[in-house]
Amino acid sequence: MIDLPHLQSWVGREQTDRDIAAVRHARLMAATVAQPGPVLTEGDTLPPLWHWLYFLEGRPPAELGADGHPARGGFLPPVPLPNRMWAGGRIEFDAPVPLGATMDRRSHVLGVEHKAGRSGDLVFVTVQHEIVVDGRRCLREEHDIVYKGPSAPGASAPSAADAPRPGTHQRMLTPDSTLLFRYSALTFNGHRIHYDQDYCRQVEGYDNLVIHGPLVATLLAGFAQELGGRPLARFDYRALRPAILGVTLTLHAEVDADAVRVWSALPGGVPGMQATAMLAAR
């Protein structure tokens, strides 16, 4: 039973945090995703979506839920559905975040919404984050989190009938368990769907480990900026289907004058995540 009025009482809750855009952490991320180019140094611009490497929350074991995430009912509402995942988001880039800078982040719960999906109840929680450096807002993000029941066995298998035509630009990659481990470590992500196969299969209903949604979004944002040849002004992304360890992902892109449409495709060409990147003015 979803007590929506109770969950919506969390709307408006706020929290603040401070962190440093550490160069070492960014270099570790560059190594993790095999980013080409010169070694990152202090003063360089933080690549798009790499702000997720910072403002990390560390709770002692007694304050974790069964899935490895912090237990429900703190800043985020205690949604009584077992599975929680990134559903998507909208990010505005107002100014560069220089590596080495001190960042302040203000977060608040924007909304809580209940929907009935094909597989049962869904609860979406939207959180807004603003990152400020030296009194200037550099980034504004609306992050959507979805809570749902366990997936049925085989539910992650896509249908080739849903595949769009290939993009003009493509890049293929096959994530392995080392990549998942390193990204989990960099983001201090204890969610067991990324490292515990038995938990994935027996509790959450996935066939294998789940590739991080924010990792896929980060790869898409970097691909869009590379092809667009300019920094991003905005990045809107939406997760459609989970990507499971062992699959080869194909990043697709279509480039326009001021925007790049990108998506990740699962085997058979079915989109797993889709996004639109607006480019900064020339």
Side by side, the strands of the sheet bearing 169-173 are 14-20, 102-117, 120-133, 136-148, 83-93, 232-239, 271-279, 259-265, 249-255, 169-173
DSSP-assigned letters across all residues of 92-113: EE-S--BTT-EEEEEEEEEEEE
Domain 4-279 has CATH 3.40.50.1370: no
Residue with more model confidence, 134 or 268: 134
- Summarize the confidence of residues 17-42 as an average pLDDT: 95
What's the chain's Rg over C-alpha atoms?
18
Residue with more model confidence, 250 or 59: 250
- Summarize the confidence of residues 243-268 as an average pLDDT: 96
Closest C-alpha to 215, from 44, 22, 29, 75: 29
- DSSP type of residue 229: T
Quick one: pLDDT at residue 162? 66
Stated as kind and residue range, the H or E segment containing 218 is helix 213-228
Closest C-alpha to 233, from 56, 94, 27, 75: 94
Q: Above pLDDT 70, what percent of the chain?
A: 96
Q: What is the pLDDT of residues 37-77, one digit of tens each?
A: 899 999 999 999 999 999 998 888 888 888 888 888 889 99
With a cut of 90, say whether residue 282 has pLDDT above it. Answer: no
Quick one: pLDDT at residue 161? 59
User: What is the pLDDT of the chain when averaged over all its residues?
Assistant: 93
With a cut of 90, say whether residue 31 has pLDDT above it. Answer: yes
With a cut of 90, say whether residue 160 has pLDDT above it. Answer: no
Q: Under the phi-then-psi rule, with left for phi > 0, alpha for psi from -120 to 50, and beta for the rest, what region is 34? A: left
pLDDT band at residue 30 using 50, 70 and 90 as cut-offs: very high
* Residue whose structure tokens are 């980034």: 139
Distances (CA, A) of 232 to 34, 48, 124: 20, 7, 26
Specify the range with the lowest mean pLDDT, choosing from 23-32, 66-75, 159-168, 238-247: 159-168
- Summarize the confidence of residues 121-143 as an average pLDDT: 97
pLDDT band at residue 186 using 50, 70 and 90 as cut-offs: very high
With a cut of 80, say whether residue 247 has pLDDT above it. Answer: yes
Quick one: pLDDT at residue 229? 95
Instruction: Answer whether 214's CB lies under 8 Å from 274's CB.
Output: no
Report CA torsion sign: 71, 15, 183, 273: positive
Ordered by start, the domain boundaries in the chain are 4-279
Count of alpha carbons within 13 angstroms of residue 77, beta-carbon side: 30
- Summarize the confidence of residues 92-117 as an average pLDDT: 96
pLDDT band at residue 83 using 50, 70 and 90 as cut-offs: confident
With a CB cutoff of 8 Å and minimum separation 6, the contacts of 253 are: 167, 168, 169, 170, 223, 224, 227, 260, 261, 262
